[in-house]
Amino acid sequence: MHFSIDKRPTLSRTEAKQVYNQFATTSHAGGKDATSGYGGPAIRALLSMASLKSSPHSSSPPKAVLDYGCGQGKLAELVLQDESLNVKQWVCIDQSPNMVHKAKERLHKFGNVVEVHLLESGEPLDAVSSDQLQIVQPQSMDLFISTYCLDVMSETDMHSTLTLAERTLKPSSDSKVILAGIT
């Protein structure tokens, strides 16, 4: 564990990969982070802010979602089960091979709507700018979601993640960045 300039304990990319690989195989408390007492209220608030449903008071709902640090794909599953939301593309990215495997298992039932990608380098910007691998096209997403990731990242990776959001979101007033965390 490392401490950043702001004195937060953070994980290196290697440590984060080890921790989340372990979570994927042993599961964390309750194993229902998107619906449990721990994560449920935050996730419900996050989904409300994301305006995934059409209403007279909201802009058009997002059709393309980038889920950075998707873990086992529980948030994607929770959202995509509601067919009325009309999400056309949900791109999941994680640096843990075990989490990506679990997400693929969980989300295969949604077919071509979902893509699950391993970001081996752990460098957030590789998802949009790497010559070898470009997971998501610039300015192609309506919504960028990241849950419980920034809390443990170094400041450098936090900035890279927010830059990734900026680069992948469509240049529209309807585009949103939604973050949920412990802190």
Measured CA to CA, the distance from residue 170 to residue 145 in angstroms comes to 14
Residue 72: CA atoms inside 13 Å, Cβ hemisphere, count? 17
CA angle 159, 42, 60 (to 5 degrees): 75
Q: How confident is the model at residue 106 (pLDDT cuts 50, 70, 90)?
A: very high
- Cβ pair 91, 136 in contact under 8 A: yes
pLDDT tens, 18-47? 787 787 777 655 444 555 544 566 677 777
Q: Is the pLDDT of residue 50 over 80?
A: no
pLDDT for residue 37: 45
Measured CA to CA, the distance from residue 21 to residue 71 in angstroms comes to 9
Q: Is the pLDDT of residue 130 over 70?
A: no
Q: Which carries the bigger pLDDT value, residue 50 or residue 161?
A: 161
Q: pTM score, two decimals?
A: 0.83
* Closest of 94, 73, 61 to residue 172, by C-alpha: 61
Give me the torsion for CA of 150, 153, 158, 161, rounded to 10°.
-80
Largest CA distance in the chain: 47
pLDDT for residue 13: 74
Q: What is the DSSP letter of 62?
A: P
3-state secondary structure of 127: helix
Beta strands in the chain (DSSP E): 2-3, 9-10, 64-68, 89-94, 114-118, 143-147, 176-180
